Structure 1
């Protein structure tokens, strides 16, 4: 990616920050940064580090940074935050753990990665990395397997035994065949045994059950982030029982019999689930009973191979304050009502404690303007001169005039297009205007003055460094998607629902993320004294999804062939994901033909 990085070395501020990094004279504050340019600067500054950790202030911004950063580096991951308050009831829990464990795998295996997250992702308490490493199991052709033992081990790691593997986190045993869908993999694995020896290890397709590829080794990461051994379970349950007795006694002394009965029931259910299904039980809010030592996610990184970036530090502080306040208020309400034990209130690190930890790391703060609410005192301050690119709104003539002006002033210009074909066509069109434009997929080529390189890549917004005469323009800056006329829908197409009064219990509906289910009506659910209307959707395998009544934009009525009932999808199933992928593939083929 020298095409993007080489011009930055002409900036004095960039070189000074690189010197600060080498001399470990950090933290550093950088102002004047804008939107997509932050990813460009972060890539240039952190290119020598194994890990780059970019911390931002909300999930939407994290996804935007993720999309921009993929232009420079494909090994980029989002580390999602858990909602500790509601996590045990979150049907997306498996998906969240899966994304988090993919990141942990990169760290454990010492593989390069850029990790993007919000501050609250570093506020929950985690196990030290060595404890996670010790739970990873490796199976190769030399491994001997006892079926009963492997079944117990996988269950303890949080995997669920099924009749047939369908989703990440499942395993199945049939005769001498073991199917495992590791949470960190994209496809399940099949181990065929000859006695207790392994005959073959293959990946296979969930839908067709056909083998994809033979491999020599399978590494299975836990399907849960908290996996206590038997001794820790017994010690932890003993601590819970002791605290429960004291707390129940206190509640009864205050004549809160309903609350005391509630906490006894909740604790009894947790203990029963833990002893029966082990690793599949959500334990985040009970972590302090089972482990004396916990760490923040940011503790997983050392200063030798990690560089941290804080995107708009003032807004990060606001995010931390909001998360901490919401958590504290919710916990106070829950403990008053007998929903939690006192020690469960201490499952988050305070945001100030986390920011204090980051102040001791290699940290660079990126912001548009210098704010007053800077959480970390910088040792050095720098200001960059960067300008945004005005949208051309499909006006090709204005673009050409700007390119001619930049050519005259000896600017270097990089034009990005989402497809190779469009990029090549764009370079040809520009040459007709006597512009030195060319297509290239060599991202290490250093641009010369007055050159216009058209390349395949995506960026949300373009930007300009006027001092070093570098301009990067995205396709979205040039072309605005035209609104297409809506064609008349046939009777058999799905229809967006404007109001839940349009639905009748028993209607088939399609949820954008979970597939086909049956609408079962509206239920009022109270959470923290706030009652809201939820749409109840029933799925295959007994799954139930509750969607806020305000989330109708994700649901549409199912319409298929008359008289034919659709097959219900299962929650968290890869089946619906595969269906959407096939449809997207078909659409791309049609688009290519057009």
Structure 2
């Protein structure tokens, strides 16, 4: 597109052909793109597709700060991270062009101005001479909460020469290690495992934007350069949605956070802009017509699919089947081979949201999840801030109440006495207090948290509190070890006999087995894949199988069991399904 103002409409794009076209257009120049979808879900799927095509570092999502309607629901920490990440990336002095994907409700919220954001950003570099007390003061000034350990955005913790801080501009918290007054290293780390993830030479610590009250808020379009291209699924629809948001929030106490629709329209029309959706705006537009069609539905009828692909192959089309699972591509090939249908297609180990067929380029791109009627889920890089914020042991620690029963692996059952900070060898550390019989007390460093667990016993029965140094706990452990050894001895004897027995060896997976497994709506998790493979391996041996599938409610145990049951039925065996009722 040239630099003159005007509107360009892309007509006839369907499915993920839209993402492919926008990615090609982005690669043809060196300018920022702001792509505006009609709603949050459409934006997330376009973000997913562009991530596959352009790479993770070039594409960012700019969502609303709220889980539901602006001002009517809870703020979403994960979304706030994504918004701040966009601002942080756009204000970087030296950077590549970026693609920002958004939707009307997100654009209706103003953001801190570039000057104000820069004033409220703490920039930290390795090798920099800085007093860690100054860093703590700045974090307090920015409104960060001091905790014993960080598990969600807006928190920081200090342990000796280490400062952990969870910025609002990155999906993982940072661990800043000082050597005296020099910053020795900066690493991101996983909250659950506390293990380092990546090494950084420089990071920006940014406050929660809405903690800054005042008139320093602007529309996101002010962050975009003059050469930036704005593209809309429908400009008129976007403007109407933004107007409805503003009208709905006319009594919103923080109305200064709402952007005017006129700013967006003026920014779009000041240069050329794109429309690529089904809705038409009233503007006179230059049109480019594409000849694309949606991926057809086959309802898992592989005879119909084979005939369809053969027809397009004869007409000279390039056939591509996309999946992010190599085993799924192998499964499709095996199904065709078992049906003795030679279908030559290009397997691509990356997937898009919706398949399409471009009749001008003679390119057919079909996705495996649509072929098998599976649900396709997108993932956002802020999911770690949204779920699984704490390791299990840390969650339990924060949920402990004074007097709760806990078990120390070396001392036995005691009562939780609280979490304290104390000075050890000149450094402040967190310790856990556990009280035993006769008010005996031990203190456990938070770094030895793995040695403590919550007491789990028969409901309604109070456990016996142990006395330190009495040897009672050691005797209980020794008795338990002895019983475990007896059980292990019996199991070894039993299994040695079982290994001598001959069982029925089931046949390898057939076409029917593959068709069944492809019919499940959701993709298997890694644990499901492993459990299924282990069960099948056992079934195909000529030795009796003895395997337990263990997992929490809703974690997919039944799907593994159904696969095993179907495998048995395919070899003319009967299967008993016991369904307990509660």
Q: 2:225: which partner in 1?
A: 302
Q: Distance in 2 between matches of 1:561 and 1:410?
A: 69
Contact 1:97 1:223 in 2 (8 A): no
Distance 2:332 2:131 in 1: 61
- Counterpart CA distance in 1 for 2:196 and 2:259 is 45
1:475 to 365, 368, 379: 368
2:348 maps to which residue? 455
Q: Counterpart of 1:5?
A: none
Confirm or deny: 8 A CA contact 2:32 2:225 kept in the other structure: no
Q: Which residue pairs with 2:152 in the alignment?
A: 167
Please list the CA deviations of residues 513-536 of structure 1 after superposition, one character each: whole Å capped at 9, or x if unmatched. 5799xxxxxxxxxxxxxxxxxxxx
Whole-Å separation in 1 of the counterparts to 2:110 and 2:67: 10
Tell me, in whole angstroms, the C-alpha distance in 2 between the residues paired with 1:481 and 1:179: 41
The answer on 1:318 being equivalent to 2:240 is yes
Q: 1:99 to 1:405 in 2, by over 3 A?
A: same
Residue 391 of structure 1 and its aligned partner are, at CA, apart by: 0.6
1:203-245 per-position Cα deviation (integer Å, ceiling 9, x unaligned):
44434445556x463413313226xxxxxxxxxxxxxxxxxxx
Shift of 1:461: 2.4
Which gives a bigger RCO, structure 1 or 2 (Cα 8 Å, sep 6+)?
A: 1
Corresponding residue number in structure 1 for 2:80: 97
Work out the CA distance in 1 between the residues paired with 2:460 and 2:185.
Answer: 42
Is the Cα–Cα contact under 8 Å of residues 461 and 477 in structure 1 kept in the other structure? yes
Contact kept, 8 Å, 1:87 with 1:93, in 2: the verdict is: no
For residue 306 of structure 2, the aligned residue among 400, 420, 426 is: 400
Structure 2: distance between partners of 1:461 and 1:141: 44
Match of 1:77 in 2: 60
Conserved 8 A contact 1:39-1:65: yes
Contact 2:154 2:208 in 1 (8 A): no
Q: Deviations over 1:438-465 (max 9, x none)?
A: xxxxxxxxxxxxxx31212223322222
The answer for the alignment partner of 2:168 in structure 1 is 183
1:297 Cα shift? 0.4
User: Does structure 1 conserve the Cα–Cα contact (< 8 Å) formed by 2:66 and 2:76?
Assistant: no
Q: Would the alpha carbon gap of residues 303 and 434 (structure 1) be closer, same or farther in structure 2, given more than 3 Å must change?
A: farther
Matched, 1:563 2:485: no
Q: Distance in 2 between matches of 1:540 and 1:112?
A: 45
User: Rg bigger for which structure?
Assistant: 2
Question: Once the two structures are superposed, what CA deviation does each residue of 1:289-347 show, in whole Å capped at 9, x if it has no partner?
Answer: xx3xx43101211243x33220133432331232122122x34xxxxxxxx4xxx5444
Shift of 1:102: 1.6
Q: Are the aligned partners of 1:38 and 1:366 in contact in 2 as well (CA < 8 Å)? A: yes
Q: Could you list the runs of 5+ residues in structure 1 that have no partner in the other structure?
A: 1-20, 227-281, 332-339, 438-451, 483-511, 517-538, 543-559, 566-582
Structure 2 unaligned regions, length at least 5: 376-385, 391-397, 402-455, 462-523, 537-582
Distance across 2 between alignment mates of 1:316 and 1:592: 48
Post-superposition CA distance 1:74-116 (Å, at most 9, x none): 3233211235998678653433321111222322332443221
- CA apart distance, 1:40: 2.0
CA distance change for structure 1 residues 211 and 65 in 2, over 3 Å: closer, same or farther? closer
- Measured after TM superposition, the shift of residue 396 of structure 1 is 0.7
**TM-score, normalization by structure 2:** 0.60
Q: Compute the RMSD of aligned alpha carbons.
A: 3.6
The residue correspondences of 1:328-407 to structure 2 (distance < 5 A) are 328=250, 330-331=251-252, 340=253, 345-368=255-278, 371=280, 374=281, 377-407=283-313
